[in-house]
Structures are given as C-alpha cells and as structure tokens.
Amino acid sequence: MADKRNIKDRYKGWVDELIREDLEANYFPFAVLMEHLIGDFNIGTIVRTANAMGAERVYYCGKRKWDRRGAVGTHNYTTVEHLIDLDHVAAAANNHNYTMVGLEATEGARSLYGFEWPKKPLIIVGEEGRGLSDEMLDKCEYIVEIPQYGSVRSLNAATAAGIAMYDFVHKWQQTAIENVNDRLNET
C-alpha cells in the first residue's frame, strides 16, 4: 500500500490504480527530465512538483537509485523512468513527441517571461553548479533561463524546475481559455 499522507482529500480511500488512472486522464502535455541530479531531495522534490503540476511523466538520466522519501509518496502516482544515456533521452522525447527545452542560465538563452512554450515540452534541468551538459544543450530545441535579480548565479534545481512547470501550466491554461473565448466570439 502506498503512502497516503500527502493525497488530496478527493483521493482518500481510493486504491492506487484508480488514483493513477484519474491523474492520467487529466495530465498536462509536458514531462520533466533531470540530468545527473545528485541530491535525493532535489529528485524527490521534482517528482513531487511534477505530480502537483500534472506532468505526464518524469525522467532521470544519471544515478539509478534515489531516496524516495522526498517525493512523499507521489512517485506511486507519477510515472518515473530512468534513462541510461542521452541516446535514450532523445528516443524517449521522439517516442512521446516532446520538444526538448533546457533550463540553463547561459548566453543566448531565452527569458522565461516571454517564452512561448511548444505544444508538448520536455523540461530539462541539470545539477546545480554543473548545469546541463554540453551534449544535452546541443539536443535541446530551446534553452530558457529564469531571470534572477540577486547575487546568486543559479537557482536550486528543484526550484527552477518548479518555476518552469508552473509557468508552462499557467500559460497552457491561459491559451486554452483564450481559445474558448475566441470560439464563443465567432458564434
């Protein structure tokens, strides 16, 4: 039996399979990939945030085992897949029609503020300090940075991933509302 401490009231008493089915029926069209994250807390937090934001799935490329306590049971309801190398990352992106979007504070990166997300992004975050590998950056169709105003060079990996996921879901919902309003105005 899965850990039920962090489940919305509407899911209390449901069996795990039914929770997964309900979540799958309401996913937003995006996934998250972690490249070489070392900290179990960051991995667990990204899995937990991906569940909260309705991600289709989470991938991690790097170490295979991680302490799942940071995910607070959400790994039982969110598909988490290990990919062994960049070729497998590219294959997963192609198989699910994801557009690879790297989060990296680097020259030439687009600001998240005005960024128009592709229809089905794979949001990719790297380990703090190292960031995304050059090979991963080369595979990304877009590189996006989160504007910062303090003295630190980069955000915590899980924090950056959470901001990007929220931004995608918010903009996706806004676009959906605008499309409905446009159709209503046409009639």
CB burial class (10 A; 0-12, 13-18, 19+) of residue 15?
exposed
Asked if pLDDT for residue 171 goes beyond 90, the answer is yes
* Among 19, 35, 15, CA closest to 27: 19
Flag whether pLDDT at 3 surpasses 60.
Answer: no
Q: What is the domain partition of the chain in residue ranges? A: 9-186
Best CA proximity match to 120, nearest among 145, 138, 101: 101
Could you read off the pLDDT of 61-76 as tens digits, one per residue?
976 676 666 655 667 6
99-156 pLDDT per residue, tens: 999 999 998 999 999 999 999 999 999 988 889 999 999 999 999 999 999 888 788 9
For helices 40-52 and 157-186, angle between their N-to-C axes, nearest 10 degrees: 10
Instruction: Give me the amino acid identity at 93.
Output: A
Architecture of domain 9-186: 3-Layer(aba) Sandwich (3.40)
pLDDT tens-digit series, residues 141-156: 999 999 999 888 788 9
H runs (alpha helix) in the chain: 16-25, 40-52, 86-95, 134-139, 157-186
- What's this model's pTM, rounded to 2 decimal places? 0.86
Greatest C-alpha distance within the chain: 55
